[in-house]
Structure 1
Amino acid sequence: MKKLVLLLALAAVIVALLMMLGGQDIDLSTLREKVAEIGEFQQRNPLMVGLLFALAYIAVTALSLPIAVWLTLASGALFGFGTGLLIVSFSSAIGATLAFLAARYLLRDWVRARLGARAKGIEAGLARDGAFYLFSLRLIPVVPFFAVNLLMGLTPLRAWTFYWVSQLGMLAGTAVYVNAGTQLAALDSLSGIVSPRLLASFALLAVFPWLARAVLGLWKRRRAHEGWTKPKSFDRNLIVIGAGSAGLVSAYIAAATKAKVTLIEAGEMGGDCLNYGCVPSKALIRSATLAHQMRHAGTYGLADTTPAIPFGAVMDRVHDVIAEIAPHDSVERYTGLGVEVLKGYGRLIDPWTVEITDADGQTRRLTSRAIIIATGARPFMPPLPGLDQVGPLTSDSLWTELRGRDHAPKRLVVLGGGPIGSELTQAFARLGSEVTQIEMAPRLLMREDPEVSALVTASIKADGVQVLTDHKAVACGIDPEQGKWIEVEHGTTTRRIHFDEIIVAVGRSARLEGFGLEELGIAADRTIDTNEFLETRYPNILAAGDVAGPFQFTHTASHQAWFASVNALFGSFKRFKADYRVIPWATFTDPEVARVGLSETEAREKGIEVEVTQYDLAELDRAITDGAARGFVKVLTPKGKDRILGATIVGEHGGDLIAEFVLAMKHGLGLNKILGTIHIYPTWAEANKATAGAWRRDHVNPRVLAAVKKFHDWRRG
Structure 2
Amino acid sequence: MKKLGLVLVLACVITGFFYFDLHHLLTFSGLKSGLSEFQEWLDASPLLVAGGYFVLYVLVTALSLPGAAVMTLAAGALFGLWWGLLLVSFASTIGATLAFLVSRYLLRDSIQAKFGDRLKAINEGVEKDGAFYLFTLRLVPVFPFFLINLLMGLTTLKAATFYWVSQIGMLAGTIVYVNAGTQLAQLEGLSGILSPALLGSFALLGIFPLIAKKILDVIKARRVYQGYTKPAKFDRNLIVIGAGAGGLVSAYIAAAVKAKVTLIEAHKMGGDCLNYGCVPSKAIIKSAKIAHQMKHADNYGLEASDATFSFKKVMERVHNVIAKVEPHDSVERYTKLGVEVIQGYAQLIDPWTIEIKLNNGETQRLTSRAIILATGARPFVPPLPGIEDVGYETSDTLWNTFAERDEAPKRLVVLGGGPIGCELAQSFARLGSDVTLVERSERIMIREDVDVSEYATQSLSESGVTLLTNHSAIRCALENGEKRLTVEHNGVESHVEFDDMICAVGRVARLEGYGLEKLGIETKRTIVTNDYLETLFPNIFAAGDVAGPYQFTHTAAHQAWYAAVNALFGNLKKFRVDYSVIPWTTFIDPEVARVGLSEQDAQEKGIAYEVTKYGIDDLDRAIAESADKGFVKVLTVPGKDKILGATIVGDHAGDLLAEFVLAMKHGLGLNKILGTIHTYPTWAEANKYAAGEWKKAHAPETALKWLEKYHTWRRG
TM-score bin, normalised by smaller chain: 0.7 to 0.9
Partners of 1:493 and 1:46 lie apart in 2 by 81
Partners of 1:685 and 1:691 lie apart in 2 by 10
Tell me the alpha carbon deviations over residues 563-610 of structure 1, each in whole angstroms, 9 at most, x when there is no partner: 333443445565544444433221112111112334344555666665
Stretch of structure 1 that moved more, 670-679 or 202-211: 670-679
Partners of 1:296 and 1:607 lie apart in 2 by 44
The residue identity in structure 1 corresponding to 2:61 is T
Distance change >3 Å, CA 359–CA 63, structure 1 → 2: closer
Preserved contact between residue 234 and residue 367 of structure 2 (Cα < 8 Å): yes
Partners of 1:351 and 1:23 lie apart in 2 by 63
Distance change >3 Å, CA 486–CA 199, structure 1 → 2: same
- Which residue does 1:559 correspond to in 2? 558
- Which residue does 1:408 correspond to in 2? 407
Partners of 1:25 and 1:145 lie apart in 2 by 20
TM-score, with normalisation over the residues of structure 2? 0.88
- SS in structure 1 of the partner of residue 687 of structure 2: helix
Partners of 1:647 and 1:47 lie apart in 2 by 65
Distance change >3 Å, CA 73–CA 443, structure 1 → 2: closer
- Which residue does 1:516 correspond to in 2? 515
- Which residue does 2:616 correspond to in 1? 617
- Which residue does 2:339 correspond to in 1? 339
1:543 Cα deviation (Å)?
2.4
1:586-597 matched pairs, under 5 angstroms: 586-597=585-596
Aligned Cα RMSD in Å?
3.5
- Which residue does 1:541 correspond to in 2? 540
Partners of 1:381 and 1:59 lie apart in 2 by 62
2:162 is the alignment partner of 1:162: yes
Distance change >3 Å, CA 181–CA 255, structure 1 → 2: same
Partners of 2:538 and 2:292 lie apart in 1 by 52
1:150 Cα deviation (Å)?
2.1
1:254-653 matched pairs, under 5 angstroms: 254-304=254-304, 307-383=307-383, 392-403=392-403, 407-409=406-408, 411-416=410-415, 417-431=417-431, 433-441=432-440, 442-469=442-469, 470=471, 472=473, 474-475=475-476, 477=478, 485-489=483-487, 492=492, 494-495=494-495, 497=497, 499=499, 502-524=501-523, 526-571=525-570, 575-603=574-602, 610-637=609-636, 640-653=639-652
Partners of 1:458 and 1:46 lie apart in 2 by 81
1:331 Cα deviation (Å)?
2.0
The residue identity in structure 1 corresponding to 2:243 is A
- SS in structure 1 of the partner of residue 238 of structure 2: strand
TM-score, with normalisation over the residues of structure 1? 0.87
The residue identity in structure 2 corresponding to 1:150 is L
- SS in structure 2 of the partner of residue 378 of structure 1: strand
Identical pairs, percent: 60
2:217 is the alignment partner of 1:203: no
The residue identity in structure 2 corresponding to 1:684 is W
The residue identity in structure 2 corresponding to 1:362 is E
Partners of 1:496 and 1:280 lie apart in 2 by 28
> Please, which runs of 5 or more residues in structure 2 have no aligned partner?
none
Partners of 1:461 and 1:23 lie apart in 2 by 74
Distance change >3 Å, CA 479–CA 606, structure 1 → 2: farther
The residue identity in structure 2 corresponding to 1:131 is A
Distance change >3 Å, CA 478–CA 525, structure 1 → 2: farther
1:621 Cα deviation (Å)?
1.1
The residue identity in structure 2 corresponding to 1:542 is F
Preserved contact between residue 389 and residue 478 of structure 1 (Cα < 8 Å): no
Preserved contact between residue 140 and residue 203 of structure 2 (Cα < 8 Å): yes
- Which residue does 1:685 correspond to in 2? 684
Distance change >3 Å, CA 56–CA 521, structure 1 → 2: closer
Partners of 2:451 and 2:42 lie apart in 1 by 79
1:299 Cα deviation (Å)?
2.6
- SS in structure 2 of the partner of residue 327 of structure 1: helix
Partners of 1:26 and 1:494 lie apart in 2 by 80
Partners of 1:77 and 1:100 lie apart in 2 by 29
- SS in structure 2 of the partner of residue 176 of structure 1: helix
- SS in structure 1 of the partner of residue 632 of structure 2: strand
- SS in structure 2 of the partner of residue 140 of structure 1: coil
Preserved contact between residue 24 and residue 30 of structure 2 (Cα < 8 Å): no
2:97 is the alignment partner of 1:97: yes
1:272 Cα deviation (Å)?
1.1
Distance change >3 Å, CA 11–CA 627, structure 1 → 2: same
- SS in structure 2 of the partner of residue 555 of structure 1: helix
Partners of 1:144 and 1:35 lie apart in 2 by 26
Preserved contact between residue 18 and residue 65 of structure 1 (Cα < 8 Å): no
Partners of 1:348 and 1:23 lie apart in 2 by 68
Tell me the alpha carbon deviations over residues 642-684 of structure 1, each in whole angstroms, 9 at most, x when there is no partner: 4444332211001111223333444444444433443332221
1:308 Cα deviation (Å)?
4.7
- SS in structure 2 of the partner of residue 263 of structure 1: strand
1:251 Cα deviation (Å)?
1.7
Preserved contact between residue 393 and residue 502 of structure 2 (Cα < 8 Å): yes
1:336 Cα deviation (Å)?
3.1
Distance change >3 Å, CA 497–CA 3, structure 1 → 2: closer
Tell me the alpha carbon deviations over residues 345-397 of structure 1, each in whole angstroms, 9 at most, x when there is no partner: 11122232211011221001112233222111223344456655666443333
1:709 Cα deviation (Å)?
5.0
Preserved contact between residue 390 and residue 478 of structure 1 (Cα < 8 Å): no
2:242 is the alignment partner of 1:238: no
The residue identity in structure 1 corresponding to 2:504 is A
Partners of 2:494 and 2:190 lie apart in 1 by 89
- SS in structure 2 of the partner of residue 356 of structure 1: strand
Distance change >3 Å, CA 693–CA 195, structure 1 → 2: same
Preserved contact between residue 411 and residue 497 of structure 2 (Cα < 8 Å): no
Partners of 1:314 and 1:85 lie apart in 2 by 83
- Which residue does 2:660 correspond to in 1? 661
- Which residue does 1:3 correspond to in 2? 3
Preserved contact between residue 436 and residue 468 of structure 1 (Cα < 8 Å): no
- Which residue does 1:219 correspond to in 2? 219
- Which residue does 1:65 correspond to in 2? 65
2:24 is the alignment partner of 1:14: no
Partners of 1:127 and 1:391 lie apart in 2 by 47
Preserved contact between residue 373 and residue 543 of structure 2 (Cα < 8 Å): yes
The residue identity in structure 1 corresponding to 2:514 is F
1:488 Cα deviation (Å)?
4.4
Preserved contact between residue 17 and residue 23 of structure 2 (Cα < 8 Å): no
- SS in structure 2 of the partner of residue 344 of structure 1: strand
Partners of 1:251 and 1:659 lie apart in 2 by 26
Distance change >3 Å, CA 51–CA 321, structure 1 → 2: same
- SS in structure 1 of the partner of residue 682 of structure 2: coil
Partners of 2:188 and 2:245 lie apart in 1 by 70
> Please, which runs of 5 or more residues in structure 1 have no aligned partner?
none
1:115 Cα deviation (Å)?
2.4
Partners of 2:234 and 2:344 lie apart in 1 by 21
The residue identity in structure 2 corresponding to 1:653 is H
The residue identity in structure 1 corresponding to 2:436 is Q
Stretch of structure 1 that moved more, 664-673 or 585-594: 664-673
The residue identity in structure 2 corresponding to 1:212 is A
Partners of 2:627 and 2:565 lie apart in 1 by 44
Distance change >3 Å, CA 643–CA 343, structure 1 → 2: same
